[in-house]
């Protein structure tokens, strides 16, 4: 019968593992000053490990009920029949309607500036944070362009694409958004922690 003896002393950062025939493990444990009661002795049967024995030889049992494989539901599919895109449309966020979202934003109250803000243009930053949070949480858009943001804010602010591009570059430099290079130009993705205030 194969056995394994594990000894660990946290205070001195010592760990010793002896594995082999039970008589061999006990012999060499004694040679280095470790008796069987100094650690955990486990019986190994092939590739299976029995429950560990304590210092007095008692068997330890795992907490909780005994696993019952018959209670695990089985999902049987024909090979090659699984379609990962099945029902994908029903779970997708609604398509972005810029006109509707622009109207919604135009009716929103002005965002509050955090009292601890150190931004050069805190109101612009809060508008961008609010709109990008809506795009991510409500419409599933991970990134957007300065032009799209300027278009969405056109009825609520006087910010144009250039002003928003400069603001986004400042946010990118401070780590609040990520800059993504695409074939149509730069897009920006908000940091989850930065838009968390509006996601909550």
**CATH number for the domain harbouring residue 136:** 1.10.10.10
Burial of 111 (0-12, 13-18, 19+ CB in 10 A): middle
Query: Looking at the domain assignment, is residue 77 inside a domain?
Result: no
Measured CA to CA in angstroms, residue 194 lies from 128, 176, 181, 190 at distances of 11, 6, 21, 7
Q: Are residues 39 and 103 in the same domain?
A: no
Contact 68, 24 (CB under 8 A): no
Q: Are residues 42 and 119 in the same domain?
A: no
Query: Looking at the domain assignment, is residue 148 inside a domain?
Result: yes
Query: Looking at the domain assignment, is residue 76 inside a domain?
Result: no
Q: Are residues 127 and 53 in the same domain?
A: no
Going residue by residue through the chain, which has 200 residues, state the pLDDT in tens, using 9 for 90 and above.
Answer: 677 777 766 666 667 777 778 777 777 777 777 765 556 666 665 544 444 555 555 555 666 777 777 887 777 777 777 777 776 655 555 667 788 888 888 888 888 887 777 777 888 888 898 999 888 888 888 888 999 999 988 888 888 999 999 999 999 998 999 999 888 888 999 998 888 876 55
**Number of domains into which the chain is organized:** 2
Q: Are residues 191 and 96 in the same domain?
A: yes
- C-alpha radius of gyration, the chain, whole number: 31
Query: Looking at the domain assignment, is residue 49 inside a domain?
Result: yes
pLDDT at 40: 62
Q: Are residues 96 and 192 in the same domain?
A: yes
Q: Are residues 185 and 124 in the same domain?
A: yes
Query: Looking at the domain assignment, is residue 78 inside a domain?
Result: no
Contact 132, 190 (CB under 8 A): yes
Q: Are residues 47 and 141 in the same domain?
A: no
Q: Are residues 96 and 182 in the same domain?
A: yes
Return all residues near 147 (Cβ < 8 A) that are at least 6 apart. 161, 185
Query: Looking at the domain assignment, is residue 114 inside a domain?
Result: yes
Secondary structure of residue 38 in the 3-state scheme: helix
Q: Are residues 188 and 119 in the same domain?
A: yes
Query: Looking at the domain assignment, is residue 85 inside a domain?
Result: no
Q: Which domain holds residue 10?
A: 2-59
Q: Which of 20, 37, 59 is the last residue of a domain?
A: 59
Query: Looking at the domain assignment, is residue 64 inside a domain?
Result: no
Burial of 68 (0-12, 13-18, 19+ CB in 10 A): exposed
Q: Are residues 53 and 104 in the same domain?
A: no
Task: Identify any residues that bridge with 6 across adjacent strands, giving them in sequence order.
Answer: 17, 40
Q: Are residues 179 and 122 in the same domain?
A: yes
Q: Are residues 108 and 188 in the same domain?
A: yes
């Amino acid at each position: 019968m194969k056995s394994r003896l594990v000894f660990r002393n946290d205070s001195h950062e010592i760990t010793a593992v002896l594995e082999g025939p039970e008589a061999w493990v006990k012999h060499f444990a004694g040679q280095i000053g470790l008796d069987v009661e100094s650690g955990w002795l486990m019986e190994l049967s092939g590739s299976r490990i029995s429950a560990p024995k304590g210092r007095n030889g008692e068997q330890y049992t795992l907490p909780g009920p005994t696993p019952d494989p018959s209670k695990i539901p089985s999902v049987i599919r024909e090979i090659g029949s699984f379609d990962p895109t099945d029902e994908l449309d029903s779970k997708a966020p609604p398509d972005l309607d810029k006109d509707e979202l622009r109207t919604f934003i135009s009716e929103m109250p002005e965002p509050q500036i955090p009292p601890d803000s150190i931004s050069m243009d805190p109101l612009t930053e809060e508008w961008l944070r609010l709109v990008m949070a809506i795009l991510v949480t409500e419409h599933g858009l991970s990134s957007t362009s300065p032009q799209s943001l300027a278009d969405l804010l056109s009825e609520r602010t006087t910010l144009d694409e250039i002003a928003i591009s400069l603001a986004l570059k400042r946010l990118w430099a401070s780590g609040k958004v990520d800059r993504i290079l695409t074939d149509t130009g730069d897009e920006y993705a908000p940091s989850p922690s930065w838009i968390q205030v509006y996601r909550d």
